[in-house]
Structure 1
Amino acid sequence: MLVLLRSTVFNTLMALSVPIWVIVFFLAVPFDFRWRFAVARSWGHAMLWLLKVVCRLDYRVEWEGKLPKGPCVVLCKHESAWETMGQIVMFDAPQSWVMKKELLYVPFFGWAMYFFHTIAIDRSAGRRAVDQVIEQGLERLRNEQWVMIFPEGHRMPVGKTRRYGISGAVLAKEAGVPVIPVCHNAGDFWGRVQFGKQPGTVRMVIGEPIDPTDKSPREINEQAQLWIETQLRQISPDRDYEYPTAEEAVAACRRNGPR
């Protein structure tokens, strides 16, 4: 009961915060993109603080290596709404998010995303969506913006994964920029369709950059997925995984054919 009460308070405060921050965001639109990103990042900080104070849900970040100085492509596990806030806070660099175009129609949030240099794709468009990510992603990277991608395409149930979409790996290969794999266990506390936010500490692990040189997009994808699934089994060993080992998960995704 206490979890539901705290979660209701948090959801209410988050919903009320969005139009306020969007108004501030629009005031920053005439200025440099970094101003807009700073406003968005302040919202992320505020939401993570609220989660800690209201829902007793904290987080810890673990870095496995140094981040490159230039822009990168980030491939992040997607199983919660938490990581949409987490990434914007953890990476102190202007970001461009790959997202489904339907989100642009969400009042306030979607309107702001239109001015946030997002790459809004039609997920049913197949190869055209991949081409869009590559074309617009190259432009964003040239402008020193990091490209943030959830390669599983949508939030996955806890313990499951799917074959990663190829667009992020192709983009990194063509741009010659590193891929940063990101793993977390936010789904243990805030599931994809879960109203209640359980108290605890989300662990986010940010991996060593993957150099795309001498690797095919498929090899980049599989290396990122293998690392993420391996880390996940270390930070959340008690989950009911669809595939007991990370190697089995990647092999099963490979057998499912290209996406």
Structure 2
Amino acid sequence: MLVIRSALFNLCFMILTPLFSLLVILFRPFGFSASWLWARMWSQTIFMLLRLLCGIRIVIEGKEHLPDHACVVVAKHQSAAETVAMPILVPPYTWVLKRELFNIPFFGWALALLGTIGIRRGSPREAIKQVMQDGSAMLNQGRWVVIFPEGTRSSVGTTGNYQPGGAILAQKAKAGILPLAHNAGALWPKRGFIKKPGTITFRFLPYIPAEEVSSIKRSELMTQLEADIEAATRQLGG
């Protein structure tokens, strides 16, 4: 039964994602907000199906830590679930993702039209420069910036190589940092077909104000972020 329910969800996901992506594209001429409405609706629809078909519900903890202004979200990366959930977790934002994702029909095109920062991971210096330039512009426009510092998804119980792009951007743009931990990989594993029933908990950790971000050494900031995010992730079972 678990296999059948997972298969049905995966089929719905494959059908609905291009459909909602097309709506994002078609509504983009009417402004960012018009497109963002469909992106958020996609996220809500997918998680509704996850609950109905796979028995997966979500809980969001630490919402009191969200600031009332744009900041840099530094998030754990274990699963596709956190990318799907992001539109219902934080205000309108831009992602920092690998540029190759823009080549995915409809979904990748929608990402590009929403102003996603697509970097070439083979050129770290160029990637950092682009994140600084485009990320700062988005923050100045009031758009949040979401970064997965590990770059790629890590397995449950493991830690990827945390890259300093989010910290560098926050310091250069004089922005705060909001860390995010979760256990999504335990129920929706990376490259995993089976979706296991249970609760995915997204936990926002205490916000680090811009003043504190600017005053601390980058290496110390990265050490703090990695330690806090990984500790919370393990506590959640991720």
Pair in the same fold by TM > 0.5: yes
- CA displacement at 1:14 relative to structure 2: 1.0
- CA displacement at 1:22 relative to structure 2: 2.2
Q: What TM-score comes out, normalization by structure 1 length? A: 0.87
In 2: Cα distance, 1:223 partner to 1:67 partner = 19
Match of 1:214 in 2: 215
User: Which digits, 9 at most, give the CA deviation of each residue in 1:106-143, with x for residues without a partner?
Assistant: 11111111101100011111111111111110011111
- CA displacement at 1:26 relative to structure 2: 2.0
Match of 1:247 in 2: none
Match of 1:235 in 2: 236
- CA displacement at 1:21 relative to structure 2: 1.2
Match of 2:3 in 1: 4
Task: Please tell me the residue identity of whatever aligns with 1:61.
Answer: I
CA contact (8 A) 1:210 1:220 kept: no
Task: Please tell me the residue identity of whatever aligns with 1:15.
Answer: M
In 1: Cα distance, 2:222 partner to 2:64 partner = 19
Identical counterparts, % of pairs? 36
Match of 2:102 in 1: 104
- CA displacement at 1:84 relative to structure 2: 0.4
101-110 or 65-74: which moved more? 65-74
- CA displacement at 1:230 relative to structure 2: 1.2
Task: Please tell me the residue identity of whatever aligns with 1:173.
Answer: Q
CA contact (8 A) 1:77 1:182 kept: yes
Match of 1:193 in 2: 191
In 2: Cα distance, 1:234 partner to 1:88 partner = 24
Task: Please tell me the residue identity of whatever aligns with 1:146.
Answer: W
CA contact (8 A) 1:37 1:95 kept: no
- Describe the shift of the 1:64–1:24 C-alpha distance in structure 2 as closer, same or farther (beyond 3 A): closer
12-21 or 165-174: which moved more? 12-21
CA contact (8 A) 2:119 2:130 kept: yes
Match of 1:18 in 2: 17
CA contact (8 A) 2:170 2:176 kept: yes
Match of 1:62 in 2: 61
In 1: Cα distance, 2:235 partner to 2:14 partner = 34
SS at match of 1:120: strand
- Describe the shift of the 1:87–1:22 C-alpha distance in structure 2 as closer, same or farther (beyond 3 A): closer
Q: What TM-score comes out, normalization by structure 2 length? A: 0.95
- CA displacement at 1:64 relative to structure 2: 6.4
Q: Which runs of 4+ in 1 moved over 6 A?
A: none
In 1: Cα distance, 2:79 partner to 2:223 partner = 22
Match of 1:249 in 2: none
For residues 80-99 of structure 1, the aligned pairs below 5 Å read 80-91=79-90, 93-99=91-97
Match of 1:245 in 2: none
Task: Please tell me the residue identity of whatever aligns with 1:204.
Answer: F
Match of 1:133 in 2: 131
- CA displacement at 1:216 relative to structure 2: 2.3
SS at match of 2:215: coil
Query: Structure 2: where are the runs of 5+ without partners?
Result: none
